[in-house]
Chains A and B, each alone.
Chain A
Amino acid sequence: MKKCYLGVDIGSVSTNVIVMDEDEKIIDTLYIRTQGKPIETIQKGLYKIKERINNEIKIAGIGTTGSGRQLGGIMVGADVIKNEITAHGVAALHFVPNVQTILEIGGQDSKIILLRNGILYDFAMNTVCAAGTGSFLDRQAERMGIPIEEFGDLALKSEATVRIAGRCAVFAESDMIHKQQMGHNQEDIINGLCEALVRNYLNNLGKGKEIKSPIIFQGGVAANVGIKKAFEKILGQEVIVPPYASVMGAIGVALLAKEEVRKSGRTNFKGFEVANSSYQVKSFECDHCPNMCEVVEFFRDKNMVARWGDKCGRWSNVEVKNTKLA
C-alpha cells in the first residue's frame, strides 16, 4: 500500500484537495467551489478523491489551511492546521527552491510573501479592501456575461489601453460601465481591469517591499493569464505560474502534515467515512455576560464533536462526549 498525504485548503471561493505521495509527488488535485457551504464541500471533495484514487492508497496524514481551516480541521481530524501564508510559502519553496517573491491572489484575500535564502522574510495581506481579489473578477465576468475561464485570454487580445480606476471595486465597476458606454472594446476594458487590479495590489501590498525575481504567482487568480501579463508589464520582470498554482495552499499544508506525522508517528485522520456522515451546525447566543458570544455547536451524526465561538471558554472548554465517534 502506498502512503499518501492529503492537503485541504478551504477558502472563501474554492476548496482544494490534493493527494501527495511519500516522495512529495502530487498524485491528484481537486478544485471545487465552496459556494458558502464549507462542510458539504469538504465532504464532496473527500468523496471525489476517494472515488478517483484506487484503494491501493493509505492516507498517512492530513492538513487543513484557508479561512475554513479550523472547521475543516475538526471535521477531518487534521494533523496540522496552518495559516495560508505559511502554507503558500512552504509550497512555493517546494517547487522553486530559490523563490524570492510570491504573489498570491485568492477569492477574498490577496497576499504578498517575500522569501530570502529559503526562509519566510516578510508578508502582507490585504486589509479592509477586497478590490484586487478573485471574487471581484468573478463578479465582473458575470456582469459582462463572459465565463471567468475566458477572461484572461480576452485580455490578451487587447490592442489599445483603457485605464480603469482600480482603487476601489465599486468605483472600478462604475468606471468600467462608463468605458463601455463610451464604446470601448470589451477586450480593452478587460485588459484595463486586469492592470487596475495589479496596480491596486502593488500599491496596497507591495508598498515598500522589494519585489525580486524569481517571482511566483499563485492562488486561484493565477489561472488568469491577463493578470499574469499585467504583473509582468508593470513589474518589468518575469512572473512564473507554477503547475499547481491554484492548489498551492493545499500542497503546502500536505507537506507540513507529512512533517508533523513524521514527528508524531501517527495520523488523526478520521477516514473517508467523513464524507458519508451527516454534519450539523447549531448556534446560539450565550446570555451569561454582555459579550453575547455566538456559540457554535458542531454535530457529527447527532453527536456533538466540538463547540467554539465563546470568548471565556465556558462552552468550548467543556469536554465533548463521544469524542471517539468524532
Chain B
Amino acid sequence: MKIGIPRGLLYDHYQFLWKSFFENLGAEVVISQKTNKKIVDDGVAVTVDEACLPVKVYHGHVMDLRDKVDFIFVPKIMSIHEKEYICPKFCGLPEMIKTSISNLPTIIDPTIDFIKNKKHLLEIVYEIGGYVTYDKRKIRLSFEEALKSHQNYKNKMKQGFFPMDLDKKHEEKHEAKHKEDTQKILLLGHPYNIYDEYLSMNIVEKLRKYGMTVITQDHFSKDQINPQMNELQKKMFWTFGRKMLGAALYAMEQEDIQGIIYLSSFGCGIDSVIADIVERRTRRNSKKPYILLTMDEHTGEAGIDTRIEAFVDMIKWRVENENYVSTHGQYISAR
C-alpha cells in the first residue's frame, strides 16, 4: 500500500510525524518531488484564481503524486492549538483538491480541529490509521513513536536547524550551523514560504552566502514568543500569526539580531495583517531594519536579489559604523 504525502503547505512542519506514522504502520510512503517549475505550473493551471501561491503549489504536489500512489494524505486542518485557527484555506483544502483535480486516488482527509481541546486526538489518529490497519494498538503505538520523531525534529529546529539542511552532507551541515561572528537576520514567514527552496528563491542560502546567520520564528521557544503576545490589545488567534509576531517582538529587543525580513505570498490575508503589525512595531520600538518581500508566481528573481543584496549591504554598513569611531564624529563614508 502506497500513501502519498504532498510536499506542500504544512509538510515542512509535520513531515516526521506524518511520514513515520504511516511507515510505522507498515505502509510505503511516497513524498512528492521538491517544488519545481512543473509542479508550480501544474498547480497554477488547475487551482482557482483567488488562491495564494502556496495553495496552488500544493495542488501541483498532489498532481505529482496522482498516478504514483493508492492514497493521498490531505488533512483538513482547522485548528492546531486551542482557541487558535490557521488560515481558512486549509479548512477547504481537501474539497478544493477534489473538485480541481480529476482522476484522484482515495484522499485521506481527516478533520483536525483542536479549537476547543485536543481530547479527540486519538480518535483522529485511529481514523487515519484505519486506512492501513484495523489493529488499534498498532495504530496507537505507531503514533506514539511518530510523535517522538516529530519532537526530535522540533527540538532540532529550535537549535537553528532548517528543513533544507536535512538532506545535506555532514560537513555542509556543520558549516550551516550558527557562527558567532556573523550577523543574525530573523526571517519571518509561513513555514511553507520560507522553507520551500523554490518558492522562496532560496532566500536562506542567499543570505548565508552573504555571511548572515538566518533564524526563523521556529527557532524560538514558547517562553520567548508567548509573553510578548500578552502585551497586545487583542489575542492573536492565528497560530502562525502568533508565532511570527511573537518572534518579531522578541527579536526587537535582542541586540544580536540585526534585521528582520518578512517573506509573504501575495494575497495572503494573514500576512497582510501580521506583516503590517510587525513593520509598525519594528519602526516604533526598535531601530532594526525591516523589509517585506512579496512573492507570487510572477515574481522575478532579479527583484528579490536586488532587495536582499541592498538589505545585507545596509546591515553590514550599519554594523561597521557601530564599531568605528570617527575622528570627525559624523558622516562616515560607506566606502
Q: Which chain A residues have a beta carbon within 8 Å of chain B's beta carbons?
A: 67, 82-86, 89-90, 93, 97-98, 117-125, 127-128, 208-209, 255-256, 258-259, 289-293, 311
Q: A120-B313, A123-B314, A125-B306 are in contact. Are A90 and B334 (CB under 8 A)?
A: yes
**Known interface pairs A86-B314, A291-B36; 12 further A-B residue pairs with C-beta atoms within 8 A, sorted by A's residue number:** A84-B306, A89-B334, A117-B330, A119-B332, A120-B313, A124-B291, A128-B298, A208-B283, A209-B283, A256-B335, A291-B37, A291-B198
List residues of chain A with CB within 8 A of the CB of B303: 125
**Across the interface, do A117 and B331 meet the contact criterion of CB distance under 8 Å?**
yes
List residues of chain B with CB within 8 A of the CB of A67: 302, 306
Q: Provide the bound-state CA to CA distance between A128 and B299, in Å.
A: 8
Within 8 Å by CB of B294, from A127, A290, A291, lies A127
**Across the interface, do B36 and A123 meet the contact criterion of CB distance under 8 Å?**
no
Q: Provide the bound-state CA to CA distance between A98 and B333, in Å.
A: 11
The verdict on B279 contacting chain A, using a C-beta distance below 8 Å, is: yes
The verdict on B110 contacting chain A, using a C-beta distance below 8 Å, is: no
The verdict on B68 contacting chain A, using a C-beta distance below 8 Å, is: no
Nearest residue in B to A66 (C-beta to C-beta)? B306
The verdict on B38 contacting chain A, using a C-beta distance below 8 Å, is: yes
Nearest first, the 6 closest Cβ-Cβ pairs linking A and B are A290-B38, A85-B310, A118-B331, A259-B335, A290-B36, A83-B309
List residues of chain B with CB within 8 A of the CB of A120: 313-314, 317-318, 334
Within 8 A of A (CB), among B291-330: 291, 294, 296, 298, 302-303, 305-307, 309-310, 313-314, 317-318, 321, 330
Q: Provide the bound-state CA to CA distance between A13 and B258, in Å.
A: 35
**Across the interface, do B33 and A290 meet the contact criterion of CB distance under 8 Å?**
yes
List residues of chain B with CB within 8 A of the CB of A125: 303, 306-307
The verdict on B280 contacting chain A, using a C-beta distance below 8 Å, is: yes
Interface residue count for B (Cβ, 8 Å)? 34
Q: Which chain B residues have a beta carbon within 8 Å of chain A's beta carbons?
A: 33, 36-39, 198, 266, 279-280, 283, 289-291, 294, 296, 298, 302-303, 305-307, 309-310, 313-314, 317-318, 321, 330-335
- Contact sample, A vs B, 17 pairs, CB 8 Å cutoff: A67-B306, A83-B305, A85-B310, A93-B334, A98-B331, A117-B331, A118-B330, A118-B332, A118-B333, A119-B332, A121-B289, A121-B314, A125-B306, A208-B280, A289-B36, A290-B38, A291-B37
Q: Provide the bound-state CA to CA distance between A86 and B311, in Å.
A: 9
| B59: min CB distance to chain A, Å | 15
Nearest residue in B to A309 (C-beta to C-beta)? B301
| B321: min CB distance to chain A, Å | 5
**Across the interface, do B283 and A90 meet the contact criterion of CB distance under 8 Å?**
no
Nearest residue in B to A109 (C-beta to C-beta)? B303
Q: A119-B332, A120-B313, A122-B289 are in contact. Are A128 and B33 (CB under 8 A)?
A: no
Q: Provide the bound-state CA to CA distance between A255 and B330, in Å.
A: 20
**Across the interface, do A292 and B266 meet the contact criterion of CB distance under 8 Å?**
no
**Across the interface, do B310 and A123 meet the contact criterion of CB distance under 8 Å?**
yes
Nearest residue in A to B37 (C-beta to C-beta)? A291
Q: Provide the bound-state CA to CA distance between A83 and B198, in Å.
A: 23
Nearest residue in B to A293 (C-beta to C-beta)? B37
| B289: min CB distance to chain A, Å | 6
Q: Provide the bound-state CA to CA distance between A97 and B266, in Å.
A: 38
List residues of chain B with CB within 8 A of the CB of A82: 309, 313
List residues of chain B with CB within 8 A of the CB of A84: 306, 310
**Across the interface, do B306 and A255 meet the contact criterion of CB distance under 8 Å?**
no
Q: Provide the bound-state CA to CA distance between A290 and B35, in Å.
A: 9
**Across the interface, do A85 and B306 meet the contact criterion of CB distance under 8 Å?**
yes
Q: A86-B313, A208-B279, A290-B36 are in contact. Are A93 and B306 (CB under 8 A)?
A: no
**Across the interface, do A290 and B309 meet the contact criterion of CB distance under 8 Å?**
no
**Across the interface, do A292 and B38 meet the contact criterion of CB distance under 8 Å?**
yes
Q: Provide the bound-state CA to CA distance between A270 and B37, in Å.
A: 37
Q: Provide the bound-state CA to CA distance between A119 and B287, in Å.
A: 13
List residues of chain A with CB within 8 A of the CB of B266: 128
Q: Provide the bound-state CA to CA distance between A246 and B289, in Å.
A: 27
Q: Provide the bound-state CA to CA distance between A178 and B219, in Å.
A: 55
